[in-house]
Amino acid sequence: MNQIAEATVNTHVHRDDVGAKIGMWLFLFTELILFGGMFLAYAVYRFTYRDFFALASKELDVFVGLINTLVLLTSSLTMAMSITALRKGDKKLSLFFLSTTIFFAFLFLVNKYFEWSAKFEHGLFPGSNELLSLPRGEIIYFGLYYVMTGLHALHVIIGIVILVFMFVFVLKDKVNQDYYIMLENSGLYWHLVDIIWIFLFPLFYLIH
């Protein structure tokens, strides 16, 4: 009797893909509010210190920001294509696209590293004398810049960890053509990171 019950339980796959996706979106909304609060602070301070924001943003290299924008946009493309490949049953191609996504994520961080290093060399880092000698508006600009792009970079790092796990899961067929919701949810997270950068780029790099 017990054995029969067990067998029935084992053959019945208990899962709810739509539910899993709704759960992921709910999490993404908390992320949206987290960053949303910061964008709100940005909006109020930019409104108050317009000229200082414009002046301080001249310190940022538009080219580096542009390259990182293109890197993230492309990584979103390979992420989406990795899911399509898996669903079409092409595991190898899916793994290729996944590793490309991870590569672009690293590239983004390397860029970020050089960008921040250059700022640090100029003495522009949180709490530095150089920064604190600037007018209040510029201090706030750099404060927001470091907190918002820093938190975003942290999300990129978390994204890399998640994608590496997905790579292993696909490799071991734990995530496969029939069961791919985990990869899809990881993709949702990755695209959210992309969307946040889409807004960060013009707001910090492209101020007149």
Does 117 bind another protein (CB under 8 A)? Our answer is no
Q: Provide the minimum distance between the beta carbon of 134 and another protein in the complex, in angstroms, as a whole number.
A: 22
Among residues 7, 34, 44, 161, the one that binds another protein under rule CB under 8 A: 44
Q: Provide the minimum distance between the beta carbon of 106 and another protein in the complex, in angstroms, as a whole number.
A: 20
Going by C-beta distance under 8 Å and a sequence separation of 6 or more, which residues neighbour residue 105? 75, 156, 159, 160, 163
76 vs 167, beta carbon nearer another protein: 76
Does 56 bind another protein (CB under 8 A)? Our answer is no
- Round to whole Å and give the CA distance between 125 and 182: 38
- Say what the alpha-carbon torsion angle 167, 168, 173, 179 is, to the nearest 10 degrees: -60
44 vs 154, beta carbon nearer another protein: 44
Among residues 6, 16, 17, 130, the one that binds another protein under rule CB under 8 A: 17
Is residue 144 within 8 Å of residue 60, measured between CB atoms?
Answer: no
Considering only the stretches 69-77, 109-117, 124-132, 148-156, report the one whose residues sit in contact with another protein under the rule CB under 8 A: 69-77
HEC profile of 143-202 = HHHHHHHHHHHHHHHHHHHHHHHHHHHHHCCCCCCCCCHHHHHHHHHHHHHHHHHHHHHH
Going by C-beta distance under 8 Å and a sequence separation of 6 or more, which residues neighbour residue 183? 82, 83, 86, 166, 169, 170, 175
Does 198 bind another protein (CB under 8 A)? Our answer is yes
Among residues 25, 113, 114, 120, the one that binds another protein under rule CB under 8 A: 25
Contacts with another protein by CB under 8 A lie at: 17-18, 21-22, 25, 29, 32-33, 36-37, 40, 43-44, 47, 62, 66, 69-70, 73-74, 76-77, 79-81, 84, 87-88, 184, 187-188, 191-192, 194-195, 198-199, 201-203, 206-208
